[in-house]
């Protein structure tokens, strides 16, 4: 392979570490995303346990308020940006090309770049703990408390970290949008795509359209903090409410960015283990699209208490309640998918079935505070904490665990232990309900959010202790999963191509799939292609074993470019010379990237 003057030779496959650092294989990138995100999930979990330890008893003395404020801020940032979003990305990466019958994503190197930039952003955000204190104003960073006068350097890490993470998500979203639109196997029309692929496409577009708004808000916050502008600072004529609008115009679509992948996973798992097609496929797709659209028209429901006028409150209350309609359609369709089935209760199915009930709880409480008067009592209380955790833990995390158990054999060729899986499920299920259900009671009893201490005698003692015990059980449940994973790595690869008798294309190739995914590009004849083939005595095309399939070679440049972006970001946090150092790195990486042969 010819080397263009001044650029590096393409990496050879020698060396395990370098092969992972330079990989552009969507499956390996998916695994990198998954492992990294899971580590961040554990870190976010530890942060939550520290919070629960502090709140277990009134006037708790485990951590001081400064650290507490950092912990609840970082718990949210870690779970949202470093755990749930990238865990979704892990499945997008590994599964989307397989599910649409492609050999890779549209832009393999861009895909690697997304991962490395994500890692850089995660490190910037998390390192703040050791470099002068983490962000401590809540993940929403309301002005003016996020301004320089009221908060420390942690907020600079917040701004830079989220800008870097936004870049990563934007690159990934563009990549998956193009991949899904353009790279489907012959016969896979849009209305034959698996629902998980549909949900990924919607998430990609939500990211593409929501992230730039966050970017603008963050840049303005950066200017307020560093260059004494006053976009959001009332002391200089700015408007703190403007930040809230910009943040939630991003922030509410973000909620659907977090939950739609889980809905997609559940929509794959339920049909497979009920042994029947998804009920009301078209309604399911349109409900997802409707949620994606409506997600843009509801942001001010986060701001019902800020003094919005009566008309906006009426409008946003109504649009928010209307989201209950497509959500209701989805829930009924999932239930009907089980109706008339012959249900195999694997661990993946346990998680998916419990998703329906748990997500319903979060959905119902959400509709309750869609009503502004009710929200005026519930906003910023533990009722909201309960609501959002039923959506994000009972919904997103439970859905993602379902996906882990469902696709683990495909990803590794090995089964996770079903016995440990059931322990995993029941501990998490009991733990999360013990933790989050009593928070409804605490909210109704008037306990505000984000308080590090509370007095005895307010009727909050019992349920706080109860929730803290529940958090411990939830943590043990997660630990059982870790043990299960460690154990499965020593098991033989006994999973065949299609251990669950799934209907979608990822089950048409080997487990784990070869680097080129499919020996021959699959043909899609119906919505559930493998079941259609099975029922009609058809088979997928066989590959020619002698054919050499060109796959893009590994590349150093995504790693180098991400490193350059990291330097650019570290500059404003330390010394602008670091940014100056980053510029040539970025230029070099782009130059090498463009000229690198990808044959």
Partner 1 sequence: MATAEHHVAHHSVTGIDNRKLLMWIFLGSECLFFGALISTYLIFKADIPAPPISFIEAHTHVENGHEVVTGWFPVDRVIDDVYVNEDGSFREVEFAGVLDIPITSQSTFVLLMSSVTMVLAVYGAQHGRLLSMKVWLLATILLGLIFLGYQVYEFRLFGSEGLTLETNQFGASFFVLTGFHGTHVFVGVLILTSLLLASFRRSGLGPEAGFHVETAGLYWHFVDIVWIVIFTIIYLIPA
Partner 2 sequence: MRSSRSLRRLAPVALLALALALAACSDPQTTVDPKSNFADDIQFVYLLTFWLGMAVFIGILALTVGLAFWYRERPGRVAKQIHGNTRLEIVWTLIPVVLVVIMAVPTWQVIADSSKPAPGDALRVNAIGHQWWFEFQYDLDNDGEYDDLITANELHIPAGRPVTFNLLSDDVIHSFWVPQLAGKVDMVPGHANDLWFTPHEDAARAEAYLGQCAEFCGTAHANMRFRVFVDTPEGFAAWVANEQADGAEPADELALMGQELFLTPVWTLPGGGGGILGCTGCHTVAGAPGAVGRIGPNLTHVGSRSTIAAGILDTNFENLVAWISNPDREKPGADYNDDTARFMPAFETVLTREQIEAIAVYLLGLQ
Residues with a catalytic annotation lie at: 75, 104, 139, 168-169, 252, 254, 256, 267, 301-302, 327, 330, 449
Cβ atoms of 112 and 23 closer than 8 Å: yes
CA 573, 576, 577, 581 dihedral sign is positive
For every residue of 443-473, DSSP letters joined together read HHTTPBSS-S---TTSS-HHHHHHHHHHHHH
Provide the residue count of the chain: 599
- N-to-C CA span, the chain: 9
Nearest alpha-carbon partner for 416 in 428, 426, 403, 427: 403
Cβ atoms of 385 and 443 closer than 8 Å: yes
Contact code string over 375-414 relative to partner 2, x by CB under 8 A: xxxxxxx---------------------------------
For residue 209, the minimal CB distance to partner 1 (Å) is 5
Distance (Å, whole) CA 41 – CA 82:
7
From partner 1, partner 2, none, interface partner of 536 (C-beta below 5 to 8 A by class): none
From partner 1, partner 2, none, interface partner of 526 (C-beta below 5 to 8 A by class): none
For residue 363, the minimal CB distance to partner 2 (Å) is 9
| CA 439 to chain CA centroid, nearest Å | 24
Window contacting partner 2 (CB under 8 A); options: 182-190, 206-214, 451-459, 585-593 = 451-459
For residue 447, the minimal CB distance to partner 2 (Å) is 7
From partner 2, partner 1, none, interface partner of 213 (C-beta below 5 to 8 A by class): partner 1
Window contacting partner 1 (CB under 8 A); options: 12-20, 28-36, 147-155, 226-234 = 226-234
Distance (Å, whole) CA 5 – CA 270:
54
Site for partner 1 in 166-185 (CB under 8 A): 170, 174-175, 177-178, 181-184
Q: Is 322 in the site for partner 2 (CB under 8 A)?
A: yes
Q: Is 314 in the site for partner 2 (CB under 8 A)?
A: yes
- Sole binder of partner 1 in the list 38, 231, 304, 429 (CB under 8 A): 231
Window contacting partner 2 (CB under 8 A); options: 42-50, 91-99, 202-210, 326-334 = 326-334
Distance (Å, whole) CA 378 – CA 364:
14
Contact code string over 96-135 relative to partner 1, x by CB under 8 A: ------x-x-xxx---------------------------
For residue 55, the minimal CB distance to partner 2 (Å) is 10
Q: How many CA atoms lie within 13 A of 368 on its CB side?
A: 18
| CA 512 to chain CA centroid, nearest Å | 23
Q: Is 306 in the site for partner 1 (CB under 8 A)?
A: no
For residue 440, the minimal CB distance to partner 2 (Å) is 10
Q: Is 241 in the site for partner 2 (CB under 8 A)?
A: yes
Q: Return the SS3 of 495.
A: coil
Contact code string over 271-310 relative to partner 2, x by CB under 8 A: ---xxxx-xxxxx---------------------xxx-xx
Q: Is 335 in the site for partner 2 (CB under 8 A)?
A: yes
Residue 328 or 499 with smaller CB distance to partner 2: 328
Cβ atoms of 179 and 161 closer than 8 Å: no
**Which element (helix H / strand E) includes 422?**
helix 418-444
Q: Is 321 in the site for partner 2 (CB under 8 A)?
A: yes
Distance (Å, whole) CA 206 – CA 174:
11
Residue 189 or 235 with smaller CB distance to partner 2: 235
Residue 101 or 154 with smaller CB distance to partner 1: 101
Q: Give 375-378's long-range contacts (Cβ < 8 A, gap of 24+).
A: 375/301, 375/304, 375/305, 376/304, 376/305, 378/443
For 235, phi then psi, to 5°, come to -60, -25
Distance (Å, whole) CA 509 – CA 531:
15
Residue 307 or 492 with smaller CB distance to partner 2: 307
Residue 8 or 368 with smaller CB distance to partner 2: 368
- Sole binder of partner 2 in the list 443, 529, 554, 569 (CB under 8 A): 443
Query: What torsion, rounded to 10 degrees, do the Cα atoms 567, 568, 572, 573 define?
Result: -30
**Exposed (0-12), middle (13-18) or buried (19+): which is 112, by Cβ within 10 Å?**
buried
For residue 591, the minimal CB distance to partner 1 (Å) is 9
Q: Count of residues binding partner 2 (CB under 8 A)?
A: 93
Distance (Å, whole) CA 163 – CA 211:
9
Site for partner 1 in 235-274 (CB under 8 A): 236-239, 242, 246, 249
Which DSSP category does 230 fall into? -
Site for partner 2 in 30-49 (CB under 8 A): none
Q: Is 229 in the site for partner 1 (CB under 8 A)?
A: yes
- Sole binder of partner 2 in the list 137, 168, 267, 464 (CB under 8 A): 137
CA 341, 344, 349, 350 dihedral sign is positive
Distance (Å, whole) CA 138 – CA 158:
10
From partner 2, partner 1, none, interface partner of 150 (C-beta below 5 to 8 A by class): partner 2
For residue 303, the minimal CB distance to partner 2 (Å) is 9
For 51, the token pair is 């919070």
Window contacting partner 2 (CB under 8 A); options: 100-108, 453-461, 508-516, 536-544 = 453-461
Nearest alpha-carbon partner for 508 in 540, 463, 546: 540
Residue 104 or 156 with smaller CB distance to partner 1: 104
For residue 548, the minimal CB distance to partner 1 (Å) is 13
Q: Is 66 in the site for partner 2 (CB under 8 A)?
A: yes
- Sole binder of partner 1 in the list 9, 35, 149, 219 (CB under 8 A): 219
Cβ atoms of 558 and 116 closer than 8 Å: yes
Nearest alpha-carbon partner for 207 in 86, 36, 302, 95: 86
Residues 6+ apart with CB under 8 A from 280: 329, 333, 336
Site for partner 1 in 552-571 (CB under 8 A): 552
Contact positions vs partner 1 (CB under 8 A): 102, 104, 106-108, 170, 174-175, 177-178, 181-184, 208-213, 215-217, 219-220, 223, 227-231, 236-239, 242, 246, 249, 550-552, 594, 597-599
């Amino acid at each position: 392979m010819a080397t263009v003057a001044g650029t590096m030779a393409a990496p050879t496959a020698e060396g395990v570490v370098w092969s992972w650092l330079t990989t552009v294989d969507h499956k390996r990138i998916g695994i990198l995303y998954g492992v990294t995100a899971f580590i961040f999930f554990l870190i976010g979990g530890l942060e939550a346990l520290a919070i629960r330890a502090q709140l277990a008893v009134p006037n708790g003395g485990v951590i001081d308020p400064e650290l507490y404020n950092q912990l609840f801020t970082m718990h949210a940032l870690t779970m949202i940006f470093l755990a749930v979003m990238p865990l979704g990305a892990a499945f997008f990466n590994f599964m989307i090309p397989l599910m649409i019958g492609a050999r890779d994503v549209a832009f393999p190197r861009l895909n690697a770049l997304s991962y490395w930039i994500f890692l850089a952003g995660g490190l910037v955000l998390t390192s703040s703990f050791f470099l002068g204190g983490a962000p401590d104003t809540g993940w929403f960073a309301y002005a003016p408390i996020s301004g320089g006068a009221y908060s420390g350097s942690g907020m600079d890490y917040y701004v830079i970290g989220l800008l870097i993470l936004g870049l990563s998500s934007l690159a990934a979203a563009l990549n998956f949008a193009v991949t899904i639109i353009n790279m489907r196997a012959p016969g896979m029309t849009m209305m034959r795509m698996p629902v998980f692929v549909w949900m990924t496409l919607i998430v990609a577009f939500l990211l593409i359209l929501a992230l730039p708004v966050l970017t603008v808000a963050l840049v303005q916050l950066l200017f307020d903090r560093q260059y004494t502008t006053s976009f959001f600072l009332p002391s200089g004529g700015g408007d703190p409410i403007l930040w809230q609008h910009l943040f939630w115009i991003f922030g509410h679509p973000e909620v659907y960015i977090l939950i739609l992948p889980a809905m997609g996973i559940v929509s794959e798992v339920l049909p497979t283990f009920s042994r029947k097609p998804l009920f009301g496929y078209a309604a399911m797709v349109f409900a997802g699209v409707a949620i994606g659209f409506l997600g843009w028209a509801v942001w001010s429901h986060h701001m019902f208490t800020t003094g919005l006028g009566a008309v906006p409150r009426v409008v946003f209350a109504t649009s928010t309640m209307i989201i209950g309609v497509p959500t209701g359609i989805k829930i009924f369709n999932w239930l009907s998918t089980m109706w008339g089935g012959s249900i195999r209760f694997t661990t993946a199915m346990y998680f998916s079935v419990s998703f329906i009930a748990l997500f319903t709880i979060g959905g119902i409480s959400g509709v309750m505070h869609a009503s502004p008067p009710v929200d005026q009592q519930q906003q910023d209380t533990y009722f909201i904490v309960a609501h959002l955790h039923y959506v994000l833990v009972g919904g997103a995390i439970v859905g993602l665990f379902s996906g882990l158990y469902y696709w683990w054999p495909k990803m590794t060729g090995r089964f996770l232990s079903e016995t440990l899986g059931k322990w995993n499920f029941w501990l998490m299920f009991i733990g999360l309900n013990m933790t989050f259900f009593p928070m409804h009671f605490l909210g109704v009893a008037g306990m505000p959010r984000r308080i590090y201490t509370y007095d005895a005698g307010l009727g909050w003692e019992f349920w706080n202790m109860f929730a803290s015990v529940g958090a411990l059980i939830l943590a043990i449940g997660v630990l059982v999963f870790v043990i299960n994973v460690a154990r499965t790595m020593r098991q033989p690869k006994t999973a065949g191509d299609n251990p669950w008798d799934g209907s979608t294309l990822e089950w048409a190739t080997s487990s784990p799939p070869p680097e080129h995914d499919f020996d021959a590009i699959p043909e899609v004849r119906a919505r559930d292609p493998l079941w259609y083939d099975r029922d009609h005595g058809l088979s997928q095309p066989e590959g020619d074993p002698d054919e050499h399939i060109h796959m893009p070679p590994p590349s150093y440049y995504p790693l180098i470019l991400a490193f350059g972006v990291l330097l650019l970001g570290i500059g404003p946090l330390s010394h602008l010379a670091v940014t100056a150092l980053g510029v040539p790195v970025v230029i070099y990486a782009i130059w090498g990237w463009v000229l690198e042969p990808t044959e």
